[in-house]
């Protein structure tokens, strides 16, 4: 079984200080230090995954295709920086519009990835900037590491790097 890091997208990888909903490349600005931090996690043997709520789809602000196109750009940028994202899952629903089983704090996205990629939950963690990220981690049986939004995650992940 492999170990993994599950990463929230907005506020952890992508700076969302100026945009609450991010769906196009004009809004794409990576958080300071994210490339170096993910490279360090990879060197420690973690597979990297992104799990993200994208309720703007349900609200009609952007489409699933917009998100997929942005994710292609995110993956390409990470690849140029020698970072492999094994998979990205996102929930297109919004709790104001409908009930679903995939929107964090529900653990379904994490649980699916654990099963699909034969991951060891006892050696895995979720890095997020919200209580819903931490609750999803707890409910999936993995460690949750809460960081400050749009800040370098390194002070929060030092235990993973030892």
pLDDT at residue number 140: 98
pLDDT of 93 strictly over 80: yes
Share of the chain above pLDDT 70, in %: 100
User: Is 11 within a domain?
Assistant: no
The per-residue pLDDT of the chain, averaged, comes to 96
H or E segment to which residue 125 belongs: strand 125-128
Share of the chain above pLDDT 90, in %: 92
Residues with Cβ within 8 Å of residue 92, at least 6 apart in sequence: 54, 55, 57, 58, 64, 67
Residues 110-137 have a mean pLDDT of: 98
Domain containing residue 48: CATH number: 3.40.50.1000
Neighbour tally for 115: CB within 10 Å = 9
User: Is 145 within a domain?
Assistant: yes
pLDDT digits over 54-85, tens only?
999 999 999 999 999 999 999 999 999 999 99
pTM of the model: 0.96
User: Is 84 within a domain?
Assistant: yes
Local structure of 148: helix, strand or coil? coil
pLDDT of 95 strictly over 90: no
User: Is 150 within a domain?
Assistant: yes
User: Is 41 within a domain?
Assistant: yes
Task: Count how many domains the chain has.
Answer: 1
Range of the structural domain that residue 107 is part of: 16-161
C-alpha–C-alpha distance, residues 18 and 23, integer Å: 13
Q: What DSSP letter does each residue of 83-96 carry, written as one string?
A: --EEEEEEE---TT
pLDDT at residue number 20: 85
pLDDT at residue number 94: 92
pLDDT digits over 17-43, tens only?
988 899 999 999 999 999 999 999 999
Residues 139-159 have a mean pLDDT of: 96
* Residues identified as active-site: 8, 10
User: Is 3 within a domain?
Assistant: no
Q: What DSSP letter does each residue of 7-66 carry, written as one string?
A: E-SBTTTB--SS-SS--SGGG--BPTTHHHHHHHHHHTT-EEEEEEE-TTTTTTSS-HHH
pLDDT of 1 strictly over 90: no
pLDDT at residue number 97: 84
pLDDT band of residue 142 (cuts 50, 70, 90) is very high
User: Is 7 within a domain?
Assistant: no
User: Is 102 within a domain?
Assistant: yes
pLDDT of 122 strictly over 90: yes
**For the CA atoms of the chain, what is the radius of gyration?**
15
Local structure of 4: helix, strand or coil? strand
């Amino acid at each position: 079984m492999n170990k993994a890091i599950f990463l929230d997208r907005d506020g952890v990888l992508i700076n969302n200080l100026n945009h609450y909903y991010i769906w196009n490349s004009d809004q794409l600005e990576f958080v300071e230090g994210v490339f170096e931090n993910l490279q360090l996690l990879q060197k420690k043997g973690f597979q990297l995954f992104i799990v993200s709520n994208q309720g703007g789809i349900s609200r009609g602000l952007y489409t699933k295709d917009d998100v997929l196109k942005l994710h292609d750009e995110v993956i390409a940028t990470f690849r140029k920086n020698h970072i492999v994202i094994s998979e990205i899952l996102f929930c297109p629903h919004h709790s104001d519009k409908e009930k679903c089983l995939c929107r964090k704090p529900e653990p379904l996205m994490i649980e699916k990835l654990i099963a699909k990629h034969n991951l060891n939950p006892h050696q895995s963690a979720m890095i997020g900037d919200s209580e819903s990220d931490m609750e999803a981690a707890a409910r999936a049986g993995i460690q949750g590491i809460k960081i400050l939004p749009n800040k370098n995650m390194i002070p929060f992940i030092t235990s993973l790097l030892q």
